[in-house]
Amino acid sequence: MKATGEVNNPYGDDKVIDSCSLFGMMNTKGERFSSSNPVRAIANMHERVNGLGGGFAVYGIYPEHEDLYALHIMYLDKGARKDTEKYLDRSFIVLLGEEIPTREAEVWNPPLFWRYFVEPKGSQMQDRQESADDYIVDKVMKANGKPKTFVLSSGKDMGVFKGIGFPEDIAEHFCLEEYEGYMWICHGRFPTNTPGWWGGAQPFNILDWSVAHNGELSSYGANRRYVETHGYSCAMQTDTEVLAYAFDLLVRKHGIPIQFAAKVLAAPFWDEIDSMSQSERSVLTALRQVYGSLLMNGPFSIIVAHQGEMIGLTDRIKLRPMTAAIKKDFVYLSSEEAAIRLVSPRPDRVWNPAGGEIVVGRLESPEILQVALAHHTLRDAR
């Protein structure tokens, strides 16, 4: 069997140097909107990508099944689907399984995509004495270990659509104009140190956590070893995958507030910590000591989504770009301001977050949480 990257990579190589494109758009009142503006915005940054990856994570798209886990699964052949569906029937109550609608588009060698709306089997959870979310994570990790099977998303009332092609072509392939959601995060990929293939496209997801990433993690080996000691398994051949698991581990499992999770991943330098107040110094020192292996070294900017929040974060010296904006009930995050202004020509406010600064848009609140305001420059866009 050929390596996965060779099967799906039309260029036959696995290292191309350039940048990626990110775009996120959220309605803070939870009002659902179509793919039109997100697709236009990410397509406006076409020159940042090379057609070896594009994708979308959409929240609020399955209101009729909002209490069920929605598993989006990619199969590299029909035999993999048959085997995995037997596994799903043993592990879950499957309320609905169906092929994800697709159409012909400028994408390369598309595999099969199915979705399943499921509930955990209560008896198995009780035997293992674990929560429903932990049960889902365990089953997803095991499914990803099967040959030619990859779970692309596993949250409630959300889904990931991604593959080999430019983002606008991926949107065409998955008929995204037929969907509506209150939050869309979008990614255009230009692979650097890892293969361009259907499973390696972004966003990456676990439960309702999705991450789109521009950059690379030189700390990936240490980061991967750390999350794998907590039950996660990295199977997608791309460093970004570890970011999704890190957020799930820190925020969901360990109960760390999102602003402190950001200080784990993009930790301040020690001389900055030494200049802080005693209380801040104590907290940040403890985080560095406990979670030192989750410090993300290397250039990165990321957009992270989970139910009710859209989060932007860059590395601590901001080696990759990010712009944020608000317009009435909408929050925007983007690699380029031009993409925001294409869909919202006159935002109320637009700014460039500082390195290591977190920006969070929250559902049912028009306010933006800004950490490290002393380093934050905000200008009136009008």
* pLDDT value of residue 130: 82
What letter represents residue 73's amino acid?
I
Answer yes or no: 175 catalytic.
no
HEC per residue, 220-231: HHHHHHHHHCCC
Q: What is the DSSP string of 71-104?
A: EEEEESSHHHHHHHHHHHHHHEEEEEEEEPP---
Q: What is the DSSP string of 237-289?
A: SSTTHHHHHHHIIIIIIS---HHHHHHHHTPPPHHHHHTS-HHHHHHHHHHHH
Q: Bridge partners of 72?
A: 115, 153
CATH number of 4-380: 3.60.20.10
Query: In angstroms, how far is CA 177 from the centroid of its own chain?
Result: 20
* pLDDT value of residue 365: 54
Burial of 373 (0-12, 13-18, 19+ CB in 10 A): exposed
Residues of the chain with pLDDT below 50 are 1-18, 366, 369-382
Torsion angle defined by CA atoms of residues 7, 207, 65 and 54, in that order, rounded to the nearest 10 degrees: -40
What whole-number distance in Å separates Cα of residue 50 and Cα of residue 170? 13
What whole-number distance in Å separates Cα of residue 232 and Cα of residue 224? 9
What whole-number distance in Å separates Cα of residue 230 and Cα of residue 247? 13
* pLDDT value of residue 367: 52
Which run of H or of E encompasses 57?
A: strand 54-59
Query: What's the first-to-final CA gap in the chain, in angstroms?
Result: 57
Instruction: Give residues with Cβ within 8 angstroms of 286, minimum separation 6.
Output: none
HEC per residue, 172-221: HHCCHHHCEECEEEEEECCCCCCCCCHHHCCCEEECCEEEEEEECCCCHH
* pLDDT value of residue 4: 42
**Which residue, among 93, 120, 117, 133, has the nearest Cα to 231 in the 3D structure?**
133
Domain extent listing, the chain: 4-380
> How many CA atoms, within 13 angstroms, populate the side-chain half-sphere of residue 336?
17
Helix (H, G, I), strand (E, B) or coil at 236: coil
The model's pTM is 0.89
